[in-house]
């Protein structure tokens, strides 16, 4: 059987882009989102939680969020309506890509997914109104273990394509990093 998912390496350890090979005909398209056999080399978790978000306004930013151990999570994110610039920041202690960021455009047309390992902060900016994302998580959300980075932190130097028109008060108030930030420890899966 032909593979229906393309797994693309990035310059960040364990961070992948996954592209479906969509079948198209006069009825529309069909694509595989998840296949245990095809993802077995990278998919290092059981799905514990699935989230869905709707963001109403183009230019809105959500994130950059993560969870500390023992609830650090792996995520797989897909845009099912609209478009986002998805951004992740490597905050793994002693990582060769520590505090570097990676971004990818996820759209309903390109159907790309991003596989985000433990130790990355995650966020996105909507590029269209009424954008919806679907997230697969390796652990349940645990508010007491949540951490966050400020998307406007000059140390991160993240360039977004649009002016931020909506950012939650909570995300806006996250402190900027200092040179003392050494990163987070993550347990291997």
Catalytic-residue membership of 135: yes
Residue holding tokens 């992740």?
88
Separation CA 18–CA 33 (nearest Å): 9
Task: Identify the active-site residue in 34, 68, 71, 135.
Answer: 135
Maximum C-alpha span of the chain: 57
Q: Report which secondary-structure segment, H or E, holds 106.
A: strand 101-107
Contact call for residues 74 and 114 (beta carbons, < 8 A):
no
Residue 170 three-state SS: helix
Which of 16, 65, 101, 115 is catalytic? The answer is 65
Cα distance between residue 61 and residue 162, in whole Å: 10
Residue 20 in contact with residue 32, Cβ under 8 Å?
A: yes
End-to-end CA distance of the chain: 29
Active site residue 34: no
Residues tagged active-site: 65, 135
């Amino acid at each position: 059987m032909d593979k229906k998912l393309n797994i693309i390496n990035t310059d960040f350890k364990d961070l992948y882009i996954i592209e479906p090979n969509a079948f198209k005909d006069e009825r529309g398209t069909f694509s595989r989102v998840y296949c245990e056999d095809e993802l077995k080399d990278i998919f290092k978790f059981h799905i514990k939680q699935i989230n869905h978000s709707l963001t109403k306004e183009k230019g809105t930013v959500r994130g950059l969020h993560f969870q500390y151990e023992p609830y650090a999570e792996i995520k797989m994110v897909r845009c099912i309506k609209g478009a986002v610039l998805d951004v992740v920041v490597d905050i793994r202690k002693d990582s060769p890509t520590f505090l570097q960021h990676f971004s990818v455009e996820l759209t309903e047309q390109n159907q790309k997914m991003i596989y985000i390992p433990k130790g990355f902060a995650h966020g996105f900016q909507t590029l269209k109104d009424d954008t919806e994302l679907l997230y697969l998580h390796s652990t349940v959300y645990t508010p007491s273990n949540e951490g966050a980075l400020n998307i406007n932190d000059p140390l991160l130097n993240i360039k977004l394509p649009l002016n931020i028109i909506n950012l939650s008060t909570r995300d806006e108030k996250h402190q900027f990093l200092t040179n003392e930030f050494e990163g987070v420890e993550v347990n291997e899966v």
